[in-house]
Structure 1
Amino acid sequence: MAKNSLFAILLRSSWWIGLLIAAVLALLSFALLPADLRLVGALSGFPFLVVSALALRRQWGLPSAARIAQTQEALADLGWPAFSALLEQAFRREGYTLRLPSGKSEAYDFELERGGRLTLVSARRWKSARTGLEALRALQAAREARQADAVIYIGLAALSENARPYAAAQGIDIWQASELAGLLRDLPSGKGRPH
């Protein structure tokens, strides 16, 4: 499916938009078409119902935009000890065995293991103003040295123009406020630090 096709855009939009389009098409069909064509016209909205159902399935359980904004605000106020403790608790809840890197590592902060897969997580720069290529290259080098299956870079800020394609090419998962809102779902909403 083309990235900017109508159905691709609807899949990225709120699920109810496709449902609304299908309902409008059905209402217009019954209001404007001759009696023998009303059902056919109403069925023209069926693809929009399918897209709406697919979008709903994708969006089910995802945090709302307000929750993402609250999470970003709360995390921006935290210091590293509190943020790392939240991450440790959340990763363990998700079933990971968590280890700190052996020795001092500038590239990553956690080693996660689940189902025999090793994942390295870099999170210490979560409040950086912008994520550049250097941090991602260091994480990729650590992945190769540790022979890790996956790597995750956690940062609230946008990636630089060079960093985004590099992360995509290397398969580096970038977690920002929306992913953290899902992971840290027990983070209290509103202002203030988590307990």
Structure 2
Amino acid sequence: MKFQMAKNSLFAILLRSPWWISIVIALLIVLLCMALLPVQFRVIGALSGLPFVVISVIAARRQWRLPSAERVASTRQALATMAWPAFAALLEQAFRRDGYTVRPGKTGAVDFELERQGRRMLVCARRWKSAHTGLEPLRALQAAREAADVPDALYIGLAPLSDNARPFAAEHRIAIWQAAELTQALRGLPLEPTATAR
């Protein structure tokens, strides 16, 4: 059985929080132990802050390359003004840079077919500017994936997923890229609407 941390446990929340918060908690524990415990127990008590230092290191490693909120917002704004040919060309460039072989999709539900190291993925991205993402495009992508017997699927859209779409994506292991993931994936690429179409 695979161990999975509870989503709202203290450690899970700290892993999603800025790394320095865990360091502050560790320092507070050390200071309280030094001030309140008898001399012979101070070092042992202070060591109880060690898990928070470990969490801080893990969180810092995860957050080191994450884009800032300002960068995510500016990327979202730039992508929302693009026409499909420019956005498609930008995605194709990013996928190729990351080592994928890129082919156009064969159905309306699939815009790209990717392959890297023998593993295939279907990508739906044409609705990236939709006001919301419901079940329909995810169901179509899942049906195309099952028909093609492809292990991975990716849906790209700036809008949040509906209450029905989010559990569907999780159940069928459909990866979702929104503004933050797109900012990371498109790092270093020019976000101008004049990009050439594929």
**Identical aligned pairs, as a percentage?**
64
Match of 1:40 among 37, 40, 44: 44
Q: Which residue of 1 aligns with 2:148?
A: 146
Mapping for residues 41-60 of structure 1, pairs under 5 Å: 41-60=45-64
Aligned partner of 1:138: which letter?
A: A
Q: Is the 8 A contact 1:131 1:159 kept in 2?
A: yes
Residues 187 and 194 in structure 1, CA contact (< 8 A), matched pair in contact too: no
Q: 8 Å contact 1:108–1:139 — kept in the other structure? A: yes
- RMSD after superposition: 1.8
Cα distance in 1 for residues equivalent to 2:150 and 2:162:
25
- Per the normalisation by structure 2, the TM-score is 0.89
Q: What whole-Å deviation, never above 9, does each CA across 1:4-25 have from its counterpart, x for those lacking one?
A: 1211111111111101111122
1:58-84 superposed Cα distances (whole Å, 9 cap, x missing partner): 223222222222211111111111111
TM-superposition CA deviations, 1:51-104 (whole Å, max 9, x none):
1112122223222222222211111111111111110110000000001124xx
Q: After superposing the two structures, state which structure 1 stretch, 14-23 or 50-59, moved more.
A: 50-59
Structure 1 residue 7 and structure 2 residue 11: aligned? yes
2:28 partner SS? helix
Which segment drifts farther, 53-62 or 107-116?
53-62
Compute the TM-score of the two structures, normalised by the length of structure 1.
0.90
Unaligned runs of 5+ residues in structure 1 are none
Name the counterpart of 1:122.
124
1:130 match: secondary structure: coil
Number of equivalent positions: 191
In 1, the alpha carbon distance for the partners of 2:19 and 2:148 equals 41
User: SS where residue 156 of structure 1 aligns?
Assistant: coil
**1:67 aligns with one of 65, 71, 87:** 71
